[in-house]
Amino acid sequence: MNFATLRKGGLDPNEVRVHLEMVAREMGHLESRIRELQDQLGEAQRRAANPTLDEATLAGALGAQSAAILRSAHEEAGRVTSEAQERSAQVFTESQQRAAAHLIEAQERATALITEAESTATQIDHDARLAAERLVESAKVNGEALVEHAREQGRAIVEQSHEARKVVLNDLAVKRKALHMQIEQLRAARDTLGSFVSSLLDQVEGVLSGINNSDEAARSAALDVLRLRPMTAEPTEEELLAGTPLRAVPDVKVREVADEPDEAKPKARKAPKESDGTGESVLDDDASGTDVVNEIFARLRKASLEERGATAQAPRKAAAAPMKAPSAAGELFTRRDQALDQSLAILTRKVKRALQDDQNVMLERLRDVRAMITTELEDEHDQRSRYADASIDALVDAAAAGVQFAADEAGAAAGVANRAALKDCAADLAVTIVLALRKRILADGSGDGPERANAAYKEWRGARVERLCTDAARRAFHIGVLAASQGRSVRFYAAPNDAPCDACALDAASGERPAGQNFPSGSAFPPLHAGCACAVVPV
């Protein structure tokens, strides 16, 4: 049997498989044929071994001729049987020989095919290993490149996240400073309002006490005068008022005493009765003359209160035991204010100009805007930059004035103020203004966009922005004072014209500190709160 060859001397496995299947079918057919012949032989032998009639009986029944025929049939059957056995044995032998030959040939061919397949598989495995090694090497190279690229991208992302984190933290710190500044302003306003209310209450109590005392004293004096004066006709109310130098005041509606309960009625002092010799008294129990005097003094008290309420202003309550500044404290603060005046004026002017520019930009963006939307506003950082850029130069001048002030007052060496601290000062000023403006514009729910913006900026054009500029200028001024006082000690002085808060009083009582070290309040220099006019001076 010849088979088609494939590459590298191999045989076609399909043809080999078909040939082996054909040999197997032929052997199966021969084996089936052998089994059939064996079955026939066994059946014949069984019949021959178990005849239904024996020969004698059959011969007796059929006769001699029949017996001869029967013997001939038996002989022929034996011969056929022997020939069949011989033939079957021969066929079986030939089949076994052919099957053995085919099996040997198939085994040889299978062995050759297996050997060839093993060699082919070995070659394929070797080629696959070489290709896998090349792929692994290429994958390693590409993987290292990808890992390095991923590392570079990770470093860039980490740097970007660090930058974003710094920006967010800086923004939060700026907002926190602005909130702290607003809190300090609210605290200062609360303290000022509390002091004013306390002083007003004390003054009102003093005035009421004085009025009550004067009322009793005047009533007693009037009764004494009436008791000692000569008997004359009782003047009318118009005559009394005509001779009294009073300014015209509106009539006071006096509640009728009879309408009040008995326990609420004032107990009027009863004047002693004086007799005129006829048995009648000049002043009876209801004291009709005293009512006229009481009405006169009531009008006097009302006139006095109206004049005092229109002109007088309740003084501020003095702080309890403030630290006493040096004897020349007033002159020291005067020189400080004079050194700061020019820089403060420039700063206020530039911030107001920036406020006007900011208003123009805001009005342009909010034109024809009805419902206030956050996206319509200018970017907050750009808005802050406008105020920070406008104020930084004036704050630098204020810090330089602080350096010169320290040199003039205590002979401190000239220094340079920290630029970063001055930028923080300008940023705090910008944040305070921008946050307040944006909050005011977004919180107002009436009118269109330009009307809201005009209302918000109108509130900031006057004293409010001037107070913020004053605080920022004083802060920059003291940054310059500390820059010139490095290596020396400084002392905290409370403003002599203002009642200091608790933090200012605590710092003023703490004595000298090295320049740059925090005072008990936690700050190295004023202002500690909104409107703080305290100062640090090198010693």
pLDDT digits (tens, 9 = 90+) for 225-235: 655 655 555 55
Amino acid 261: pLDDT = 42
pLDDT at residue 198 greater than cutoff 60: yes
In the predicted model, what is the mean pLDDT of residues 440-454? 71
pLDDT at residue 508 greater than cutoff 80: yes
Amino acid 345: pLDDT = 92
pLDDT band at residue 70 under the 50/70/90 scheme: confident
* Rounded Cα–Cα distance for residues 268 and 8 (Å): 145
DSSP bridge partners of 58 = none
pLDDT band at residue 475 under the 50/70/90 scheme: very high
Amino acid 472: pLDDT = 92
pLDDT at residue 306 greater than cutoff 60: no
DSSP E strands in 336-464: the ranges are: none
Chain centroid offset of residue 480 CA: 35
The runs of H, that is alpha helices, within 366-415 are 380-410
3-state secondary structure of 317: coil
* Rounded Cα–Cα distance for residues 195 and 316 (Å): 6
Amino acid 57: pLDDT = 64
pLDDT at residue 368 greater than cutoff 60: no
In the predicted model, what is the mean pLDDT of residues 327-347? 84
In the predicted model, what is the mean pLDDT of residues 276-305? 51
Amino acid 470: pLDDT = 92
* Rounded Cα–Cα distance for residues 461 and 469 (Å): 12
Cα→Cα distances 444→176, 223, 255, 356, 367, Å: 24, 64, 46, 20, 16
Report domain extents, the chain: 7-179, 192-311, 329-538
* Rounded Cα–Cα distance for residues 194 and 501 (Å): 12
Chain centroid offset of residue 30 CA: 94
Can you state the percent helix, strand and coil of the chain, rounding each to 5? 70, 5, 25
Cα angle vertex 322, ends 484, 533, to 5°?
Answer: 45
Tens digits of per-residue pLDDT, 131-159?
Answer: 989 999 888 898 888 898 888 888 889 88
Amino acid 456: pLDDT = 79
Q: What is the pTM of this model?
A: 0.44
Q: Which residue has the higher pLDDT, 96 or 6?
A: 96
177-181, 183-187, 245-249, 412-416, range with the lowest pLDDT:
245-249
In the predicted model, what is the mean pLDDT of residues 238-266? 47
pLDDT band at residue 310 under the 50/70/90 scheme: very low
Amino acid 289: pLDDT = 47
Percent of the chain residues past pLDDT 70, beyond the cut = 71
Whether 426 and 388 have beta carbons less than 8 Å apart is answered as yes
Structure tokens at 37: 């012949």
Structure tokens at 126: 């070797």
pLDDT at residue 346 greater than cutoff 90: yes
* Rounded Cα–Cα distance for residues 182 and 454 (Å): 22
pLDDT band at residue 34 under the 50/70/90 scheme: very high
pLDDT at residue 433 greater than cutoff 50: yes
* Rounded Cα–Cα distance for residues 385 and 444 (Å): 25
- Strands 512-514, 535-538: pairing kind: unpaired
